[in-house]
Amino acid sequence: MIVTVIGVGLIGGSLALSLKQQGLASRVIGVDQSPAHLQQARALGLIDEAQPDLPAAVAGADLIVVAVPMDAMLTVLPRVLDLVTERQVVIDVGSTKAALLAAVAGHPRRGRFVAVHPMAGTEYSGPAAAAAELFAGRTLVICDAQGSDADALQRVETLFRQLPMRLVYLGGAEHDVHTAYVSHISHITSFALALTVLEKEREEQRIFDLASGGFASTVRLAKSSPAMWVPIFRQNRLNVLDVLDEHLHQLQRMRELLAQEDYAAFEELIRQANHIRRIIQ
Amino acid sequence: MIVTVIGVGLIGGSLALSLKQQGLASRVIGVDQSPAHLQQARALGLIDEAQPDLPAAVAGADLIVVAVPMDAMLTVLPRVLDLVTERQVVIDVGSTKAALLAAVAGHPRRGRFVAVHPMAGTEYSGPAAAAAELFAGRTLVICDAQGSDADALQRVETLFRQLPMRLVYLGGAEHDVHTAYVSHISHITSFALALTVLEKEREEQRIFDLASGGFASTVRLAKSSPAMWVPIFRQNRLNVLDVLDEHLHQLQRMRELLAQEDYAAFEELIRQANHIRRIIQ
């Protein structure tokens, strides 16, 4: 199978590597608006060929992966669908789905498109951040699967099961609600934590001296790229605002109990938070 | 050297293991108010002997490590100092220092005490969570070192350098300010994030399905024990409230920009948060 990856960054590059290492892709063609990234992806072995011409890159592929930031996705995906035939399959790997699915809802080639979201990533970006083992054992969400042709859906399912990934099916709007709760809010809290510490702790050496694994863990996502995350927050704005308001409420509750020295109720909140142990190992 | 560890949990147990594995402790005596924990610590090889009698446990030791929760520390540490001679050395491993140092400020044996805080831990607790490699390569903060006898301080410095740990010196009050910024706030944000997600996402299977490494990383500390953390928040209440107010301010700022769709300013905040990359690798 020949795979074209549009956007050879963390996710596109990692998928290219995974497919090659599992023997699922015989050849990977890379497309990227950054010539430097394309060159780097080639040097790192993520892709076998850099093809600056989008129609040519699409024409030669069995599977086309669109892995660009969410704002660019809204224009690149319809352009790719304009180019594909009934024998090709297109996937995105984006973090929000409702706007994207709406953008291609009436497209004559909608059936060739399967909307997927691999629940994996790191705080780094670009081709150098790509890793073959990023997806193994993780969840792949497939959205609005009923909008895809049966053969296209089945090819995508078979492919990702071999990485291996666990498949979960959600509606596009439902996906955006749940990912706001479970993924997007974590990035907001981590960015805000970094801003807080950088504001309060003006001596950077002290942060370095005192940072334990716990602090590093909570602030890790604050290294994430704005080029990737601003479009996600923009497209999932209402869901993110909703969960952010709940988060502000929970923090205010903890603050008030601490201010009033109501340690019994404060401890009860921590015990409730501990319930996350049941879910996250 | 014979070491007595009072409180054979995550930190006390890990220190016992480290000292034994580095050949720095020939024998470890354990004291704990939980007979089950003592038995478990013995079975796991954290301690060589369980000694329920505190005076007997202190009498036989060259070094006494007090590793109990911060509220118990305020009463246990003075009792231990009542028992020690001029040839023994006592350390705590507590996460707050100002109240503890005040509690022993006038004690006749204050000089035998060295206040240390190893900047390492995990979200787990109890003897089963102890690990020999917890401290290697991390920072040890030594507080109000001028209050310790020169020989006691030097023995502690030599010991921890061999684990090996990197030594940093702070005043006790200063320590509490900085750890509120760099450590304690991370736990508050993680507890609040867990509460938020558990409140918004009532389907626990969905959290499990969609949780990526990023979510797991930011919510990890929410598994931490209230028995350990409530006393820390109580003793460092004013510093924690101060940094929590700043954190609420930063979150509100992000919320308002997103509500107003001011994506340029929102992106600028993310770029500022990215500065944490310079400090945390």
| Beta bridge partner(s), residue A168 | A141
Per-residue pLDDT of B111-162, as tens digits, reads: 999 999 999 999 999 999 999 999 999 999 999 999 999 999 999 999 999 9
Q: Which residues of chain B have a CB within 8 Å of the CB of A218? A: 186, 189-190, 217-218, 220-221
Q: How far apart are CA A117 and CA A140, in angstroms?
A: 6
Q: What is the mean pLDDT of residues B180-192?
A: 95
Are residues B258 and A241, on separate chains, in Cβ contact within 8 Å? Answer: yes
How big is the A-B interface in CB pairs under 8 Å? 301
Is residue B96 pLDDT above 90, yes or no?
Answer: yes
Q: What is the mean pLDDT of residues B167-182?
A: 96
Is residue B227 pLDDT above 80, yes or no?
Answer: yes
Q: How far apart are CA A120 and CA A47, in angstroms?
A: 20
Nearest to A190 among B218, B241, B271 (CB): B218
Q: How far apart are CA B149 and CA B145, in angstroms?
A: 8
Nearest to B223 among A182, A246, A277 (CB): A277
Is residue B48 pLDDT above 90, yes or no?
Answer: yes
Q: For residues B91 and B66, is the Cβ–Cβ distance under 8 A? A: yes
Q: Is A83 helix (H, G, I), strand (E, B) or coil?
A: helix
Q: How far apart are CA A274 and CA A267, in angstroms?
A: 10
Q: Which residues of chain A have pLDDT under 50?
A: none
Token pair recorded at residue B256? 């308002």
Can you give the pLDDT at residue B11? 97
Task: Name the residue among A278, A270, A235 with its Cα closest to residue A100.
Answer: A235
Q: Cβ of A193 under 8 Å from any chain B Cβ?
A: yes
Can you give the pLDDT at residue A262? 98
Q: Cβ of B223 under 8 Å from any chain A Cβ?
A: yes
Are residues B220 and A280, on separate chains, in Cβ contact within 8 Å? Answer: yes
Q: Cβ of B30 under 8 Å from any chain A Cβ?
A: no
Instruction: For residue A7, give every residue at least 6 positions away whose Cβ sits within 8 Å of its Cβ, in sequence order, or none.
Output: A31, A32, A66, A67, A68, A69, A72
The alpha carbon of residue B194 and the mean position of all alpha carbons in its chain are separated, in whole angstroms, by 21
Q: How far apart are CA A6 and CA A18, in angstroms?
A: 16
Task: Specify the residue for token string 């509606």.
Answer: A171
Task: Specify the residue for token string 């006749």.
Answer: B108
Is residue B19 pLDDT above 80, yes or no?
Answer: yes
Instruction: For residue B164, give every residue at least 6 positions away whose Cβ sits within 8 Å of its Cβ, in sequence order, or none.
Output: B136, B137
Is residue B109 pLDDT above 80, yes or no?
Answer: yes
Determine how many CB atoms are found less than 10 A away from the CB of residue A158: 10
Closest-approach residue (CA) in chain B for A241 = B255
- Domains of chain A and any CATH numbers: 2-171 (3.40.50.720), 175-278 (1.10.3660.10)
CA angle A102, B264, B279 (to 5 degrees): 110
Can you give the pLDDT at residue B212? 85
Amino acid, single-letter form, for residue A86: E
Token pair recorded at residue A65? 């992966």
Q: For residues A11 and A95, is the Cβ–Cβ distance under 8 A? A: no
Confidence of residue B202 (pLDDT cuts 50, 70, 90): confident
Can you give the pLDDT at residue B209? 86
Q: What is the mean pLDDT of residues B26-46?
A: 97
Nearest to B230 among A218, A241, A266 (CB): A266
Residue B253 has, within 13 A of its CA and on its CB side, a CA count of 18
Amino acid, single-letter form, for residue A278: R
| Beta bridge partner(s), residue B114 | B91
Q: Which residues of chain B have a CB within 8 Å of the CB of A241? A: 255, 258-259
Determine how many CB atoms are found less than 10 A away from the CB of residue B28: 28
Q: How far apart are CA A264 and CA A159, in angstroms?
A: 52
Omega of the bond leading into B164 within 30 degrees of 0 (cis): yes
Confidence of residue B242 (pLDDT cuts 50, 70, 90): very high
Closest-approach residue (CA) in chain A for B244 = A255
Can you give the pLDDT at residue A204? 83
Can you give the pLDDT at residue B261? 98
Q: Which residues of chain A have a CB within 8 Å of the CB of B252? A: 248
Q: Is B85 helix (H, G, I), strand (E, B) or coil?
A: coil
Q: How far apart are CA A44 and CA A28, in angstroms?
A: 13
Determine how many CB atoms are found less than 10 A away from the CB of residue A161: 12
Are residues A218 and B190, on separate chains, in Cβ contact within 8 Å? Answer: yes
Are residues A168 and B210, on separate chains, in Cβ contact within 8 Å? Answer: yes
Can you give the pLDDT at residue B248? 98
- Listed by number, the residues of chain B in 111-130 with a beta carbon closer than 8 Å to a beta carbon of chain A are 119-123
The DSSP output letter for B115 is E
Sheet of A89-92: strand order equals A49-50, A27-31, A2-6, A63-66, A89-92, A113-118, A139-143, A166-170
Are residues A178 and B210, on separate chains, in Cβ contact within 8 Å? Answer: yes
Q: How far is CA B65 from CA A16, B44, B140, in A?
A: 53, 19, 14
Q: How far apart are CA A90 and CA A120, in angstroms?
A: 20
Token pair recorded at residue A218? 């909570």
Q: Cβ of A221 under 8 Å from any chain B Cβ?
A: yes
Q: How far apart are CA B210 and CA A140, in angstroms?
A: 9
Can you give the pLDDT at residue B281? 78
